[in-house]
Amino acid sequence: MKDYTIDREIKVMYVTAGSFPDGVLEAHQQLHSKIPFSQERKYFGISFPEDGVIIYKAAAEEMYAGEAAEKGFETYTIRTGKYACMVVSNYMNNTAAIGEAFQNLLKHPQLDPEGYCLEWYISQQDVQCMVPLKNINQ
C-alpha cells in the first residue's frame, strides 16, 4: 500500500452498472461502445454504498467541456487529495485481486468515511485501486 495524490479534479462521464458485481463488465462494455479506448483518456471504476447496495460506475475522463452532455452521459467529479492505493497487475486474469486490494485499502486508519472506491485503469493490464484519505490538516 502506498499513497498517491490527485492534484486536480477529474470530471468523468459514466455508465451505472445494473448490479454489483455482476453488471460491472456490461457497464464497461456500454461505456466503451460510445467511447472507444484511447491512450489520451483516463478510465475509471467508481463504487460506493448507497442504502445498503453497492453502486458502480464505469467512467471515462471528459476530454473537453460539454463532451458528456454531447454524448448523453451523466458526470461525476473525482476529487483532489491524498489516496491510499495498490496496483493489481494483469487484473483480467485475476479479477478477485481487485476486491482483495480494496478489502486491504478499506482498513486504512485514515480512510475518509465519505469516500469511495476508485479503480484507475492505468493500462489494459493494470489497475490502480484507490481510496481517499481524510485531510488531517483540517
Where residue 136 falls among pLDDT bands split at 50, 70, 90? low
Q: How far apart are the first and last CA of the chain?
A: 24
- What does the pLDDT average to over 3-29? 95
- Going 49 to 73 to 83 to 119, the CA torsion angle's sign is positive
Pull the grid cell for residue 117: 472506491
Whether the predicted pLDDT of 125 surpasses 80: yes
Q: What is the largest CA-CA distance in the chain?
A: 42
The span from the CA of 51 to the CA of 59, in Å, is 22
94 vs 102, higher pLDDT: 102
Give the model confidence (pLDDT) of 42-66 as tens digits: 999 999 999 999 999 999 999 999 9
pTM to 2 decimal places? 0.92
136 vs 80, higher pLDDT: 80
Domains of the chain, CATH where assigned? 2-132 (3.20.80.10)
Pull the grid cell for residue 32: 466503451
Whether the predicted pLDDT of 138 surpasses 50: no
Tracing cell 493500462 back to the chain, one arrives at: 123
CA-based radius of gyration for the chain: 15
The span from the CA of 39 to the CA of 54, in Å, is 29
pLDDT score at 16: 97
pLDDT score at 7: 94
Residue type, 105: L
- What does the pLDDT average to over 6-28? 95
**Nearest partner of 31 among 9, 16, 50, judged by Cα:** 16
**Nearest partner of 102 among 88, 89, 113, judged by Cα:** 88
pLDDT score at 126: 94
pLDDT score at 12: 98
Whether the predicted pLDDT of 73 surpasses 90: yes
